[in-house]
Amino acid sequence: MRTRRRTPAELDEEGLVRLVAKGDRAAFEELYRRTAPWLAVRLRRRCADEQIVAEVMQETYLAVWRAASAFAGAAVGGSAVGWLWTIAARRLVDAFRRRAHHARLPEAVAEQGGAAGAVAPAAEDEVLAGSVGGEVGDALGALAPELRDVLRAMVLDGLTVRETSVLLGVPEGTVKTRARRARRAMREALS
């Protein structure tokens, strides 16, 4: 007896990515239908610029279509939505870098000679500062960038240690150590 092939609507996200890897457009459309609203909300939490969010969404799903066969999934402890978010988060960082690269100094600063030695804050840090204010925002701003990146990924974005490791390109042990150091520093700053 032959088993009936499950429709994309009956599959979980991992199953959909597996079908997308085989070029299944219906699976891709179902994956997009399920994940795009959620992904857009998460991106908007990190970026208020709708144009950037739209570009990142487009780039993310294009990458999913092209690289679905690279998805390792549960075999390495990952999830399809975690993989999707990792792609989107990287695309968002790339967009921030492009924007920062093309940004010009304000005229007042340029007239003063560019404030020698001054470094403009990263676009990601500006977004984080805008979403978390007060004492907590000040404490976050005082953290070393590598600690802030781990907190941002794990707390604000809700990524697992493994997903944070993939996103930041560091070993899982390093993620755990940085998370512990960041929490300790935050407790000290807020006490």
Position 113 scores a pLDDT of 46
31 with 60: CB under 8 angstroms? no
Look at 119 and 145; give whichever has higher pLDDT: 145
pLDDT at 169: 75
- Give backbone dihedrals phi and psi of 132, rounded to 5 degrees, phi first: -130, 115
Average pLDDT for 130-137 = 58
pLDDT of residue 132 exceeding 80, the answer is no
In this prediction, residues 130-135 reach a mean pLDDT of: 54
pLDDT (0 to 100) of residue 103: 56
Q: Is 114 exposed, middle or buried (0-12, 13-18, 19+ CB in 10 A)?
A: exposed
For residue 5, pLDDT over 80 is answered with no
Which has more confidence, 132 or 72?
A: 72
The predicted model gives 171-182 an average pLDDT of 91
Mean pLDDT of the chain: 78
The answer to whether residue 9 scores a pLDDT higher than 70 is: yes
pLDDT of residue 59: 95
- Residue 177: pLDDT band (50, 70, 90) is very high
Write down the pLDDT at residue 170. 82
For residue 6, give the amino acid letter: R
* pLDDT number for residue 109: 42
Closest to 123 in 3D by CA, of 182, 52, 62, 38: 52
Higher-confidence position of 111 and 73: 73
The confidence score (pLDDT) of residue 127 equals: 44
pLDDT digit string (tens) for 27-66?
Answer: 999 999 999 999 999 898 888 889 999 999 999 999 999 9
Closest listed residue to residue 20, CA positions, set 76, 82, 74, 63: 63
Is 52 within 8 Å of 95 (Cβ atoms)?
Answer: yes
pLDDT of the residue at 176? 93
Vertex 91 angle, CA 85 and 93, to 5°: 105
- Which tokens hold the place of 82? 């975690």
Q: What is the C-alpha to C-alpha distance for residues 56 and 141, in angstroms, rounded to an integer?
A: 25
68: which residues sit within 8 A by CB, 6+ positions away?
Answer: 17, 18, 20, 21
Cα–Cα nearest to 87, from 52, 123, 53, 63: 63
pLDDT given for residue 37 in this prediction: 94
